[in-house]
Amino acid sequence: MKAFIVNRYGKKEKLHLQEIAAPLVKENEVLVQVYSAGVNLLDSKIKNGEFKLILPYKMPLVLGHDVAGVIIKTGAKVSRFKVGDEVYARPADHHIGTFAELIAINEADVAVKPQKLTMEEAASIPLVALTAWQALVEKADLKKGQKVFIQAGSGGVGTIAIQLAKHLGATVATTTSTANIEWVKALGADVVIDYKKDDFETILHDYDVVLNSQDAKTLEKSLRVLKPGGKLISISGPPDPAFAKEIGLGWPLKMVMRLLSFGVRRKAKRLHVDYSFLFMRADGNQLSKITALIDSGIINPVVDKVFPFGETEEALTYVESGRAKGKVVIKVK
């Protein structure tokens, strides 16, 4: 099969299109013919080596964390899917590789593709929607009437998180550029702050939840818009001791995580708010719940650009530029 591989960690390392062996299918896996693959900033961060301490990969590596396609083979113990099923998924860490014509995925990480979506639209959903779900439903337990601040409302996670938070009955604030203000309002945002003109810290007060996806300075300011007992969930770091324990890191790395997050945890404690780090995980059952919300019209995909398979490197560069509204997708088949 054809796949885009990266040979070593590094910011200047390019993706290379090569012919490689098709994946072997284990007894609990399905072999998916890739029709479309979503492109995420996570792909770039893994390529650059930003996560190699907590998520080490052997090289060469096929990147890609989102897929929509058709099952062409099933393992002996697969019970939930059959050949011919249209599916989508965020493959689990250490089992990624959707920038390819084929990928083997554990059936537990797969869900039936939403009927109303094209393959390109479906491929835009899994990673960002699971991130939003795990942040707002699982960690925050967001309730009707609460207030949530979702940063970067026009980004991949932001566009889905706004829609999910509105469905949960929350009042939603977000940040975006001048050109996207009306657009994110249409997604459901109640309070939209133009980050080029205004400082959200002077406008937002007594929020229940913040979903942080920006830099350390923004993280610190976000702590101060929460009310006592509020929760800040960060998907951009720093990792905390609870995360280190969750993924089973050894003692030395646990200490590294403790030190990395010491400052923000101390500031959170002083303000009587809770800080936690989220590194989203694959989950087919949660994705099935998201499918139901999509098919009922509650959540809609936001796709900025679709690149042909041969332009996967260009697609990743475009995502790295930070200009995308919603998601960028590669059309493989």
Percentage above 90 pLDDT, the chain: 95
Least confident of 46-60, 95-109, 147-161: 46-60
pLDDT band, very low/low/confident/very high, at 115 (cuts 50, 70, 90): very high
At residue 201, the pLDDT reads 97
Q: Helices 156-167 and 126-133 meet at what angle, rounded to 10?
A: 50
One DSSP character per residue, 254-311 reads HHHHHHHHHHHHHHHHHTT-EEEE------HHHHHHHHHHHHTTSS---EEEEEEGGG
At residue 249, the pLDDT reads 86
Residues 78, 100 contacting (CB under 8 angstroms):
no
10 Å Cβ neighbour count for 137? Answer: 15
CATH 3.90.180.10 domain locations along the chain:
2-125+301-331
Res 157 pLDDT > 90: yes
CATH number of 2-125+301-331: 3.90.180.10
Res 54 pLDDT > 90: no
Query: Considering the chain, what is the average pLDDT of its residues?
Result: 97
Phi then psi dihedrals of residue 320, to 5 deg: -65, -25
pLDDT digits (tens, 9 = 90+) for 224-280: 999 999 999 999 989 999 999 998 888 899 999 999 999 999 999 999 999 999 999
Residue of 32, 208, 50 whose CA lies nearest to 126:
32
Phi then psi dihedrals of residue 304, to 5 deg: -80, -55
Which residues face 19 on adjacent strands?
2
Res 76 pLDDT > 90: yes
Tell the CATH superfamily of the 128-277 domain. Answer: NAD(P)-binding Rossmann-like Domain (3.40.50.720)
pLDDT digits (tens, 9 = 90+) for 122-155: 999 999 999 999 999 999 999 999 999 999 999 9
CATH 3.40.50.720 domain locations along the chain:
128-277
| Nearest-angstrom CA–CA distance, 333 and 325 | 24
3-state secondary structure of 330: strand
